[in-house]
Amino acid sequence: MFATGDFDRLRCDVMNRYEDDLDTPITFGVLIADYDQSLSRKYILNYLDIFNNLSGDYIDFFIPGYITYDRHDTKKVCRIGEENYYFARELFHEFVGKLKIEFGVAYEYNPILVLLELTRTDFYRSRKMIIELDSQNNDIKRTGVLFQRIFEIARKYTSLDDFSYGMRKTYIKGSVLDSFVNALDNSIITEINARREGIRQYRIR
């Protein structure tokens, strides 16, 4: 887990971290969670230390809008390991705005996890899987279960295709994913939840 400020800082952090490992695909996560949303704090941000330990050396999550110093005397603090990270709302807003411009990913005011596959050195051509963590059919309370499954897959695989394949039969909202359709480009990966009405969508781009 790495706090990162704005979009340009994320790009630099990613390219610097993986510059020696680009011969094979590398999948990493961008966790977009607003500290001012109480459910994001309760079910996601409060557990960053645990997620950090579970992810180990297998997959990195970058968390935009958080910085290592307190620029506004804020009490909005997350802790990862021995470090405190402070929420900077203006950087968070800047990040989500640029995310839409550069990657076509719209932030709809709920937490999302974007898994990106980096190949070669072109950050802007990374393939993406967008996972909504709190919506009508997605229960934010199960975010930890979803993350644990992602960490388990990361122990064996590095490509986005492997992550999409490996997430079938993941338990979400108490039910098994009955179908996880592998799709690329601008198609949709759809989880069909047979025990409940509604469709959860995972988009790979």
pLDDT digits (tens, 9 = 90+) for 59-113: 999 999 998 877 767 788 888 888 899 999 999 999 999 999 988 888 889 999 9
Burial class (CB in 10 A: 0-12, 13-18, 19+), 182: exposed
Give the SS3 label for residue 39: helix
pTM over 0.75: yes
How far is it, in rounded angstroms, from Cα 75 to Cα 48? 17
Q: Which domains does the chain have, with CATH numbers?
A: 2-160 (3.40.30)
How far is it, in rounded angstroms, from Cα 100 to Cα 113? 14
**Mean pLDDT in consecutive groups of 10 residues from the start of the chain, 205 residues:** 90 86 84 95 93 91 89 82 90 93 89 88 83 80 90 90 75 38 38 38 49
Beta strand 175-176 pairing with 171-172: antiparallel
